[in-house]
Amino acid sequence: MNLELRQVSDGVFATSRAAMQAEVADVIAFDMDGVLIDVHQSYPVVICQAVTKYLQEVGFSTDGLAVLPEETAYFKAAGGFNSDWALAQGITLSFLVKARVIGSRDATALRMADPEIPTLARGVGQYGGGLAGLYRALENIIEARDLEDVMRSWDRARITRLGQEFYAGDQTQTVFGIKNETIRGHGFMLREKSLVTPELLTRAPFRYALYTGRNKGEAQFALAAAGLDGIIPESAMITEDLGYRKPDPRGLAAIVKQLSPRLLIYVGDNLDDWQTATRYETDRSLEDPPCLFCGMLGGSPGPLAYSLFQERGVDLLANSVVQLMDWLRARQPQRQV
């Protein structure tokens, strides 16, 4: 635990080291979801809708959603689920495994059966997070031969497609390059809200970058909807379709190559973001600029975020980008880009 972390401004917590580093930072790279964009009414709901629809398609009975949006935070807190499509796949697999073990296809009953979602998610975290951690956690409740059999019937591509259609609706072709064949109408992406204004970023003496798990179409739609298009240069927008998936630190290295910062701040809301910055720091040479990570509170891990970040010794935390930018700008009153 980082015992030096203290409140340095309204909604901002930093160590003395972070406060000193912030004085020379000149490039800020943002994650998107939970940082620039409020996605509480989009991706968590989309995950649950995709899981429920898929289970219905393979013969499960459901009474409402099979899993609740707030329950997705447990898996986000476990780490390794930066991709919401992977999380939808993982939650679905847990239902398929429970169904095999218990002998029921009642999704409501399976959701409440042991291990319940918080317990399973903790196990996933103990095994390293993500789908790999989920596999190991599930091995504790099902025979290996049965798990392999369940996984052969687990259509990951179908789950992903359902998630994309629920997210983009009639704009699925524009955003993902595929036609929506199952879900019609408005997508849940239209429920997203911007957490920043263009004025907030343009009045501060920084250059900006983006490292997100979204693809280019998803990212461009969100930036345009928030009025932020043009503020982040396309050359410094690192999206999933470029081949970098967090916690791969090469995404940050690509930003460094494009913008040549003196010091980079990477702002993210989950443990995958923290691990990305940590791996960049571990891998960088002495000639490469350092990277300071800022954990954004209130994102995908929900109320667990502060303790999760503090336990890992994060040097900088903020309740919002607005408060972070106000503090950073105040520490560099004389410098211009």
For tokens 């036609």, name the residue: 179
**Whole-structure pTM value:** 0.89
Mean pLDDT split into 10-residue runs, the chain, 337 residues = 79 94 95 95 97 98 95 92 95 97 95 94 95 96 95 97 97 95 96 95 93 94 92 95 94 97 96 96 95 91 84 94 94 57
Residue 21, token pair as written in the block: 């580093």
Per-residue buried b or exposed e for 14-45, using 16+ beta carbons within 10 Å of the residue's own CB: bbeebbebbeebbbbbbbbbbbbbbbbebbbb
- Residue 293: the pLDDT is 97
- Residue 300: the pLDDT is 76
Pick the CATH number of 6-39+193-330 from 3.40.140.10, 3.40.50.1000, 3.40.718.10, 3.30.70.1400: 3.40.50.1000
Q: How far is CA 15 from the centre of its chain?
A: 25
Q: Sign (positive/negative) of CA torsion 82, 84, 89, 90?
A: positive
Cα–Cα nearest to 273, from 104, 129, 119, 165: 129
Q: Name the 3-class secondary structure at 221.
A: helix
Residue 288, token pair as written in the block: 């490469």
Q: Where are the domains of the chain?
A: 6-39+193-330, 43-189
- Residue 337: the pLDDT is 43
- Residue 332: the pLDDT is 75
Cα–Cα separations (whole angstroms), residue 291 to 17, 269, 330: 12, 16, 20
> Please, are residues 115 and 141 in contact by the beta-carbon 8 Å criterion?
yes
Integer Cα distance of 148 and 210 in angstroms: 38
- Residue 3: the pLDDT is 54
